Amino acid sequence: MSTEALAPFEVRSSLDHCIKCTVCESSCPVAAVTPLFPGPKTVGPQAERFRAGDHSPDLSVDYCSGCGICTRVCPQGVRIAEINSRARAEMKVERGIPMRDQILARPGYMGKAGRPVAPLFNWALANPVVRLLGERIVGVHRKAPVPLAASRSFSYWAGRRRRFLAPRRVVYFHGCSTQHFEPEVGKKVVAVLEHNGFQVLIPKQDCCGLPLQSNGIFGAARRYVERLATQLSVPGTEGLPVIASSTSCGLMLKKEALEILGVEDGHLAEISKRTYDLFEFLLELHERGELRTDFQPVPLTVAYHAPCQQQNQLIGKPALDLLRLVPALRLVEMDRLCCGIAGTYGTKREKYDIAMRVGEPLFADIKTASPDLVACDSETCRWQIAKATGVTAVHPLEVLYRAYGGS
């Protein structure tokens, strides 16, 4: 398939390429575990011919997790997942968006609300009674992985540190998770980039709108991503590479905002072309001989899982390629498609069991490998994997950071 983003009507027209070979259906991790989802071909190129934009005929497309594997495996280039995401949004506009999805779709609100009272907030999220109420009242499964609020945001840290000046500069797109839940990841990203001689510009930035998009709330998602595009291109950053450490948010900028949301903002299209996944950027540096390889031994066994949204960028598994350079590191590649969580999908009461069944083969492989750590580029996948396996899950950057001597 082509890696160029398509115009919205081209996404729909790509259904013309479907020859009903069913490769997508046999690769779909959700259809494999539940009859509630009839499969990506069925709700995608097949059902799309029955959609005329006036009134949504759909129900089951809601069970698509949006992992995007169907689009990736399609030998004919049908944008199956994109067609399905748009159909799901149409359906939700018509049938109403539950309050639960409105909340899940705005992680920034939760992060901001939790920060001032982080200990209490985090205690509540770990409390079974609170969680049971949350399931009953809101619809978030009581066992679903949820992140803990950080008491200081990443931007708080970034605004107070001494500036590192260098001729080579990059813009860092850290995403909501780094901002509100895992500021340590962001600090290490900055450290690794600076170690390699880059000045890291961190403009004020808000949510990219991905959770809104995956929950079918397209109007707000478009506003969010357009706002982000403006924020990331503050004067003085023209043409600089934009580095995303959250792989799903990076994909949003690179492709999904254009293909799924149909954002026609020229600004966004321009930024999209110079957005890199963190490890994609680092591997390119290495291929040009510009990455420092003063690695120290990291005597750990690390199981690496490439998340769907990273795989959908069609850049291979750059983290795996780079971490192989680290001495003494025993890296085990997990050859499974999906952990099941798919952003907020697996946290929902009615989908939690499905998500756990989807992830089961991965969890089993991880347990077999009995690693010290799991490395995975996507935050929600890390939370899901850690919760399901009990193994600590980190961004692969953290392993690289250790190799550079960080602790």
Partner 1 sequence: MALSQIETDLLVIGGGSTGAGVAWDAALRGLHVTLVDRGDLATGTTGRFHGLLHSGGRYVVKDPSSARECASENLILRRVAADCIEDTGGLFVTTPVDDPAYADRFVEGCGAADIPVEEITVGAALAREPRLNPRISRAFVVPDASIDAWKTVWACVRGATARGAKVLPYHQVMSLTMTADAVTGAYLRDARSGEQLRVRARCTVNAAGAWSRRVAELAGCEVGVVPGKGIMIAMNHRVVNTVVNRCTMPGDGDIIVPIRTVSVIGTTDIPVSDPDHIDPTREEIAEMMEAGEALVPGFSQGRALRVWAGARPLFPKTTGKQVSDTREVTRSHSVLDHEALDGVGNFLTITGGKFTTFRLMAKDALDLAARKLDLSAECTTATVPLPDSESKRFYWIGARQEEMEHEAPDDPLICECELVSRGDLQAALARRSDWQLDDLRRALRIGMGPCQGGFCAFRVAATLHRDGQYDRLAANHALGAFVEERWKGVKLISWGDQLRQTRLDQWIFQGILDVEHLPK
Residue ranges that bind partner 1, judged by CB under 8 A: 9, 12-13, 15-21, 35, 38, 41-42, 46-60, 76
Q: At what angle do helices 352-369 and 379-389 cross, to 10 degrees?
A: 70
Nearest to partner 1 of 19, 126 (CB atom): 19
Distance of closest approach, residue 2 Cβ to partner 1, in angstroms? 15
Give the type of residue at 186: G
Distance of closest approach, residue 49 Cβ to partner 1, in angstroms? 4
Nearest to partner 1 of 258, 298 (CB atom): 258
Q: Return d(Cα 235, Cα 39) in angstroms, integer.
A: 46
Distance of closest approach, residue 25 Cβ to partner 1, in angstroms? 10
Nearest to partner 1 of 49, 204 (CB atom): 49
Give the type of residue at 403: A
Nearest to partner 1 of 42, 199 (CB atom): 42
Side-chain half-sphere of 207: how many Cα atoms within 13 Å? 21
Distance of closest approach, residue 112 Cβ to partner 1, in angstroms? 38
Distance of closest approach, residue 10 Cβ to partner 1, in angstroms? 9
Helices (H) and strands (E) in the chain, counts: 24, 8
Side-chain half-sphere of 5: how many Cα atoms within 13 Å? 23
Nearest to partner 1 of 43, 337 (CB atom): 43
CB 251 within 8 A of CB 380: no
CB 298 within 8 A of CB 328: yes
Q: Return d(Cα 8, Cα 67) in angstroms, integer.
A: 19
Q: Return d(Cα 221, Cα 89) in angstroms, integer.
A: 11
Q: Return d(Cα 45, Cα 90) in angstroms, integer.
A: 16
Nearest to partner 1 of 12, 317 (CB atom): 12
**Which residue in the block uniquely carries the two structure tokens 């999908």?**
345
Distance of closest approach, residue 48 Cβ to partner 1, in angstroms? 7
Nearest to partner 1 of 93, 201 (CB atom): 93
Distance of closest approach, residue 57 Cβ to partner 1, in angstroms? 3
